[in-house]
Amino acid sequence: MAGDGSFFPEIQPIAFAGPESDNVLSYRYYDADEVIMGKKMRDWLRFSVCYWHTFRGNGLDPFGKPTINRPWDDGTESLDNALRRVRAAFEFFQKLGVDYYTFHDVDVSPEGATLQETFDNLDKVTDLMLELQAKTGIKLLWGTANLFSHPRYMCGASTNPDPLVFARAAAQVKKAIDVTHKLGGQGFVFWGGREGYAHIINTDMTREMGHYAQMLKMAVAYKKSIGFSGQILVEPKPREPMKHQYDYDAQTVLGFLHQHGLYDEVMLNIEPNHTQLAGHEFEHDIILTAQMGKLGSIDANTGSESLGWDTDEFIVDHARATLIAKAIIEMGGFTQGGLNFDAKVRRESTDVEDMFIAHIASIDALAKGLRNAVRLLEHGRLPAMLKQRYAGFDEGLGKQIEEGNSSLEALTQHCLDNDTEPPVLSGKQEKFQAVFNHYL
């Protein structure tokens, strides 16, 4: 084990035990090295544990104090505590059997009295992370800079009205890209929690968005200058903490990237709980970006229909997991992204084993989703039904429209020459839903 195996003495490495297993500390559907549709399950799903919830979450909520105390964490911001936490984290990743993890700079290492001291701390902690990566084979999916917790960022980081705050954010981004590169990370995420506003009356939106685009351009330029080959990602979210956030949803971000000439440089990291907050259904932004070739990675979580905030719950629903897996397979799998559990145990789930059970249950749901999606796609019935629905665009008049070879005049003439109402074609939603359920 990564450390001396002493952080989780009660937990054995989690193994595949098959669908009949009633052991919640085993996998029923996730058999990492099993090849399905030409790829190992681990390579289709590329599971990742996030550091912030799983190793820094303590159950604090706006109404109550922390509920969760971990035996390896003494609650201080000392370097020793940070280093011990890293050892616990790697043992957790290893026992769970995931290949990847993600982190913010401030999750892993304490901020110092000066910027230089903060950088030095991060160097020391990432040295240990690099050592444990080499020892365990666990890899960094992506890194990021936390540009939202510190009070200096209360009015935004890249969109702050004060250029000195922008500069400070830039320094933090540069360092976070440096350590991500050092650790061989496959991506770098921008989640703009404070990039938005609390009231429009004191906000110049177009200036702020322009500044944000400049930050992304600097990151792209810097990435190229140091030979960092990971993807730069933006993670949309419509609100929380700000009342309005600029990266509202996937379509908004894609339009923003286009506007600023960043479309080909930046991918999207989609979190379904954020998609739900934007008023869409869970799967909407994943399917949209997957089809457009812009789905870089997924923050695998879900919200509660009855709650209006980012509850970051683990996905356990097989239908939803199947929709995600289908989108991943249809885009040919991830290249540098994965399924990152940006999810937390409930504040009432205070046992150490709950950390394992939560991840195992979600890994298994997504693995079941993958198996379902493979059957659905290999069987071909649902894809054929979908293709049939649009068959009119495969030939003749439809093809001319789709390929841009028609005009209002030509179509008017066509309608006058064939002056009858188009036939009524059923949308067949219930049939599609019924067939989809065959594969769950």
Total residues at interface with ligand XLS (CB under 6 A): 10
Per the CB < 8 A criterion, the answer to whether 79 and 125 are in contact is: yes
What does the alpha-carbon distance between residue 265 and residue 258 come to, in Å, rounded to a whole number? 10
SS3 of the chain: helix, strand, coil, percent, to 5: 45, 10, 40
Which residues have a catalytic role annotated?
104
Comparison of 2 and 355: residue with beta carbon closer to ligand XLS: 355
Q: Could you say which of 99, 247, 285, 310 contacts ligand XLS (CB under 6 A)?
A: 310
Quick one: which of 31, 195, 208, 235 contacts ligand XLS (CB under 6 A)?
235
Note whether 144 binds ligand XLS by CB under 6 A: yes
Question: With binding defined as CB under 6 A, does residue 271 bind ligand XLS?
Answer: yes
> Does residue number 299 form part of the binding site for Ni ion (CB under 5 A)?
yes
Q: Is 249 near ligand XLS (CB under 6 A)?
A: no
- The answer to the question of residue 310 lying near Ni ion (CB under 5 A) is yes
> Closer to ligand XLS at the Cβ: 54 or 121?
54
Residue number with CB closer to Ni ion (2 or 140): 140
Strands 35-36 and 39-40, bridge-based pairing: antiparallel
Q: Considering the rule CB under 6 A, would residue 342 count as an interface residue with ligand XLS?
A: yes
- Residue 368 CA: distances (Å) to CA of 22, 28, 99, 338: 16, 9, 19, 16
The candidate with the shortest Cα–Cα distance to 154, out of 193, 194, 192, is 194
Nearer to Ni ion, 31 or 271 (CB): 271
From residue 284 to residue 303, the character string flagging contacts with ligand XLS as x (rule: CB under 6 A) and all else as - is ---------------x----
Are the beta carbons of 234 and 247 closer than 8 angstroms? Answer: yes
Q: Of 388, 391, 413, 417, which Cα lies nearest the Cα of 402?
A: 391
271 binds Ni ion (CB under 5 A): yes
Does 249 bind Ni ion (CB under 5 A)? Our answer is no
Token pair belonging to 216? 């992304």
- Binding flags for ligand XLS, 349-378, as an x/- string (CB under 6 A): ------------------------------
What sign does the dihedral 206-207-212-216 (CA atoms) show?
positive
DSSP 8-state secondary structure symbol assigned to residue 190: E
Query: For residues 242 and 154, is the Cβ–Cβ distance under 8 A?
Result: no
| Cβ-based nearer residue to ligand XLS, 191 or 228 | 191
Footprint of ligand XLS (CB under 6 A): 104, 144, 189, 191, 235, 237, 271, 299, 310, 342
